[in-house]
Structure 1
């Protein structure tokens, strides 16, 4: 199959996956606000949520989104698939508004579209190239990257535990995005192994690593949604960190590469600024809506189980 045909499968699958993740985030965020608050990474939260219809809908959409992501990763390089998932922030904002019977805020949507446009510009200039045939994931090829990932995740968890200001939600979101990005790299390795036959699947360490790291990321995402006031900023951080980590994991572990010639690097940097501007506009606009009482989420119902660390600064919480 040619690269062009592969992308014709990978890109739509990735966008559908992003829409699924967006819908799942909106549904799960609503559900987590209607159950008792649990401590970070506590399985008790899932026990409370498993009987909630909105959460179950989110779970179904997550499975659908993951299936589409697997299809996209099977046909396209990680450096193409993961950045497309950032469009999930647009879908999350729109679906969240619709779930709460409000019209989607135009500035949140515009910010998400700017993010997607920046990613498209980045991909056009980065010209991502898949790994050579037969390339397998090997974390020993880049131990520094693995150590950096571990330090960042642990740092996010510690920060969220000891800090009482609203930025703790962004730390939880960042940790979630990092775990999702690593999981995507592991999933890419699994899809590569499957091409060699099902016999190789169960001998691939990446499969078992994904079965551990993936659920950890999912549980941390539920903590993030529950402890944050708005879905869009949290999803913006998660869906930004996810592809960034995924891209670097693809380069460090899977042998994928980007075009790093001088002029293209400058263009990629400008595209990155556009992405950050889009994310910033989503976060700032969501904060304004929350202060005005026009946010999709009902702050009045949230006050009944708002965690203590955020109660004193809820009006300015960006997460």
Structure 2
């Protein structure tokens, strides 16, 4: 089996696991994080997230970060119908349209904005710069989302960026492990990287959990949009991955981004529409 086939199979498995976790988190979205820590089923969702993250790390050994992250859109395709079934209702027309636009947009971005070349590990300077910039952006987006009446998509975007940073740090760990073996675990930079992964993972978990408080579709779509876009930028700027796109392809990529944004908007509107109940 080729590395590409293994990567796709792993990404599908990861998407199913993450979709199940997101459904549980969304059903508990009305609770605060402190209240959630006392709900056993919420910890089940976190265990699913950990399992998905472990498979995600494995997939990084078979394909580049900028290919793997966009495949996370499968989570949206799986989670929104799951949420409708759990609520004993049909998927609404707006949800279908929103999913279609988001998936088409992200699929287009995946095919157009492709990177090539072997990923490299972050140097100490690159690691420090990435963490400083990412922490600042995540903080700004997260605080914007905490304002009274603010849209939950701000926190979803912050969570998507935080997840992308985790993936980039995991990519660095995978590359270092392949090049140096277990001895790299003793490096001071490795310890710092592991601590950073834990910090950003916790931040991403909290931010995405808060983003589900008014519904699942739009926040999950934004997270799946922010994650691959951030991962692609990180891959290009920090991991020496090459952007394989001409000016025409970049223009098409912008169009795909607009389509994906339209899908997010429709999913947000779908939350306000009356659901269609299944016949008893």
Task: Give me the TM-score of the superposition, normalised by structure 2.
Answer: 0.86
1:78 alignment counterpart: 65
Relative contact order, CA 8 A, sep 6+: which one is greater?
A: 2
Q: Give the drift of 1:18.
A: 2.0
Structure 1 residues 68, 295: closer, same or farther in 2, change over 3 A? farther
1:108 alignment counterpart: 95
Is the partner of 2:241 in helix, strand or coil?
coil
Segments of structure 2 that go 5 or more residues without pairing to the other structure are: none
Q: What do residues 26-67 of structure 1 show as CA deviations (whole Å, max 9, x unaligned)?
A: 11121343x4x35xxxxx344223x2x3x2432232123212
1:112-151 matches, cutoff 5 A: 112-131=99-118, 135-138=120-123, 140-141=125-126, 146-151=131-136
Check the 8 A contact 1:79/1:247 in 2, yes or no.
Answer: yes
2:14 alignment counterpart: 17
Equivalent position to 1:93, from 70, 80, 85: 80
Partner Cα separation in structure 2 for residue 252 and residue 139 of structure 1: 14
Structure 1 residues 215, 142: closer, same or farther in 2, change over 3 A? closer
1:241-252 matches, cutoff 5 A: 241-252=226-237
Task: Give me the TM-score of the superposition, normalised by structure 1.
Answer: 0.76
Q: Give the drift of 1:243.
A: 1.4
Equivalent position to 1:153, from 134, 138, 142: 138
Equivalent position to 1:62, from 38, 49, 62: 49
Structure 1 residues 64, 98: closer, same or farther in 2, change over 3 A? farther
1:164 alignment counterpart: 148
Q: What do residues 87-107 of structure 1 show as CA deviations (whole Å, max 9, x unaligned)?
A: 322222112112222233344
Check the 8 A contact 1:157/1:175 in 2, yes or no.
Answer: yes
Equivalent position to 1:26, from 23, 27, 38: 23
Check the 8 A contact 2:66/2:114 in 1, yes or no.
Answer: no
Is the partner of 1:268 in helix, strand or coil?
helix
Partner Cα separation in structure 2 for residue 109 and residue 65 of structure 1: 26
Q: What do residues 97-146 of structure 1 show as CA deviations (whole Å, max 9, x unaligned)?
A: 122222333441342233222223223223321435xx211362487765
Alignment pair present for 1:222 and 2:209: yes
Equivalent position to 2:37, from 41, 47, 50: 47
Segments of structure 1 that go 5 or more residues without pairing to the other structure are: 39-43, 297-319
Q: Give the drift of 1:76.
A: 0.8
Q: What do residues 6-28 of structure 1 show as CA deviations (whole Å, max 9, x unaligned)?
A: 21111221232122212211111
Alignment pair present for 1:201 and 2:191: no
Aligned residues: 273
Q: Give the drift of 1:261.
A: 1.9
Check the 8 A contact 2:60/2:68 in 1, yes or no.
Answer: yes
Equivalent position to 2:218, from 233, 249, 274: 233
1:185 alignment counterpart: 168
1:210-289 matches, cutoff 5 A: 210-225=197-212, 228-287=213-272, 289=273
